[in-house]
Amino acid sequence: MLSDIDEVRSRCGNVLPGHGKPVPLAATLREIADGLEGNELGDVYGSGSYLGEFEAGLATGFGKEAAVFMPSGTMAQQIALRLWCESSGRSGIAMHPTAHLETAEYLGYQLLHRLRRIEFGAPEMLHNRLLSLADLEASPEKPGAVLLEIPCRPLGGELPEWEDLTAISNWAREMAIPIHLDGARIWQCQAAYDRSFAEIGALFDSIYVSFYKDIGGLAGCMLMGPATFIAESRIWQRRHGGNLFSQAPYVAAARQGLSSRLPQLADWNRKAGEIAAIVNSVAGMKTRPLIPRVNFFQVFLEADPAALEMAHTQLASDTGTFVFSAFRASSVPGWSMAELHCWESAMAFDCGELEQFLASLISMAAVTGEQASSRR
């Protein structure tokens, strides 16, 4: 059964978010099967040529010695940071306060691996900007590892400048501190940086990439790094319960997603810039970043989330245009925040009426909010 928001979206013909209309599971599995040559054999507990060739090929593409496919990024990154902190003999990790490990995993890295995040100051004032070299240099202790998320989703897809990223990498190498890349959405950055994945990968000792974010796979990720590091990672994968009997469907979906969607990323990035420019032309709206460099960004709207949801549902039903999947309160009273991701649907989205749609959204939400306040 569709949720209310998905039911409204299903009736619209001009939809911005997503990879297209929801596809039944049977059709998804048939598409994966149809994309196979027919002689591929699934792995058995991570062993097999079909998976092994995929792991080796991606490792080479990012300039790493080896790689291991895992069912989730949560598992892969906790394992990576544990191994680096064990090798350095230090349990503190230098990572942004909004890092996925800190905010979205019930602090598994602390409870399962006895690691901890190093705070950058007291009080810590880093939540609304990227981690910088100055922050690392001023750290109260030498980290056991550094983790960078590129692009940074909690900050609307902001990217460090290439020179700043290189400076952080050089500092970590000089200090003999392992540096790990949370590259869940790194696929967007090749075009943004105009660099190869190998050039980006050279700045890091280990890399995690996701196969369902942007790529549209079923699930799964890859962890890449030195051969000895990956061999140890496989042991910890088993300890985490992640060495499944076979990961073949996830591997097939990932390989097909890379083949079909990776070539589209540069266009998705450009579309995000086009849409952000329209959003910023509407009174009561602003994007973060002002000019996106990747295929997603945040939108801040001067209205209450509940009022925006009601207005958006009404407008979508009336016009057949669907723009936002959800709204939530921002840190500024009276303002809400939404995310816009430009994927396959965005390329077919007609921007011609977008400015009017957004202006109507703000005005209708304001009226709804005033009516709600008068009833209190």
User: pLDDT tens per residue, the chain (376 residues)?
Assistant: 556 788 889 999 999 998 888 889 999 999 999 999 999 999 999 999 999 999 999 999 999 999 999 999 999 999 999 999 999 999 999 999 999 999 999 999 999 999 999 999 988 988 899 999 999 999 989 999 999 999 999 999 999 999 999 999 999 999 999 999 999 999 999 999 999 999 999 999 999 999 999 999 999 999 999 999 999 999 999 999 999 999 999 999 999 999 999 999 999 999 999 999 999 999 999 999 999 999 999 999 999 999 999 999 999 999 999 999 999 999 999 999 999 999 999 999 999 999 999 999 999 999 876 665 555 5
How many distinct structural domains can be found in the chain?
2
* Gap between the Cα atoms of 75 and 233, Å rounded: 10
According to DSSP, the β-strands at 92-94 and 145-149 are: parallel
CATH of residue 336's domain is 3.90.1150.10
Are 94 and 238 members of one domain?
yes
Are 211 and 101 members of one domain?
yes
Closest by CA to 182, choosing from 88, 96, 53, is 96
Site of tokens 């909004």 = 98
Q: List the domain range (segments joined by +) for residue 66.
A: 40-261
Are 314 and 239 members of one domain?
no
User: What is the reported pLDDT for 375?
Assistant: 58
Closest by CA to 157, choosing from 285, 341, 335, is 341
Closest by CA to 135, choosing from 94, 81, 165, is 94
Q: Where is the domain boundary, 261, 278, 293?
A: 261
In terms of Cβ atoms closer than 10 Å to its own Cβ (0-12, 13-18, 19+), residue 13 is exposed
Are 270 and 257 members of one domain?
no
Are 159 and 283 members of one domain?
no
Closest by CA to 188, choosing from 223, 161, 151, is 151
CA 150 to chain centre: 8
| In a domain? residue 44 | yes
Statement: the pTM of the whole predicted model exceeds 0.85: yes
Site of tokens 């939809």 = 15
Are 208 and 187 members of one domain?
yes
| In a domain? residue 268 | yes
Q: Where is the domain boundary, 261, 295, 320?
A: 261
The residues with which 182 forms a beta bridge, in sequence order, are: 149, 208
User: What is the reported pLDDT for 367?
Assistant: 86
How many Cβ atoms sit within 10 Å of the Cβ of residue 353? 13
How many Cβ atoms sit within 10 Å of the Cβ of residue 115? 23
Task: At 19, list the tokens.
Answer: 């990879």
Radius of gyration of the chain (CA): 22
User: What is the reported pLDDT for 21?
Assistant: 80
Are 255 and 289 members of one domain?
no
| In a domain? residue 356 | yes
Convert the pLDDT of each residue in 92-121 to its tens digit. 999 999 999 999 999 999 999 999 999 999
Are 225 and 301 members of one domain?
no
Mention every residue, 6+ apart, whose C-beta is less than 8 A from residue 376: none
| In a domain? residue 91 | yes
- The secondary structure of 146-170 as a DSSP string is EEEESSBGGGTSB---HHHHHHHHH
The residues with which 67 forms a beta bridge, in sequence order, are: 224
Q: Where is the domain boundary, 219, 241, 261?
A: 261
Q: Where does the chain show beta strands of DSSP type E?
A: 14-15, 66-70, 92-94, 116-117, 145-149, 179-183, 206-210, 221-225, 285-288, 296-301, 321-322, 328-329, 336-341
| In a domain? residue 149 | yes
Are 235 and 303 members of one domain?
no
Mention every residue, 6+ apart, whose C-beta is less than 8 A from residue 282: 355, 358, 359, 362
Are 62 and 16 members of one domain?
no
Are 202 and 296 members of one domain?
no
Site of tokens 């589209």 = 264
| In a domain? residue 35 | no
Are 232 and 291 members of one domain?
no
| In a domain? residue 30 | no
CATH of residue 195's domain is 3.40.640.10
| In a domain? residue 113 | yes
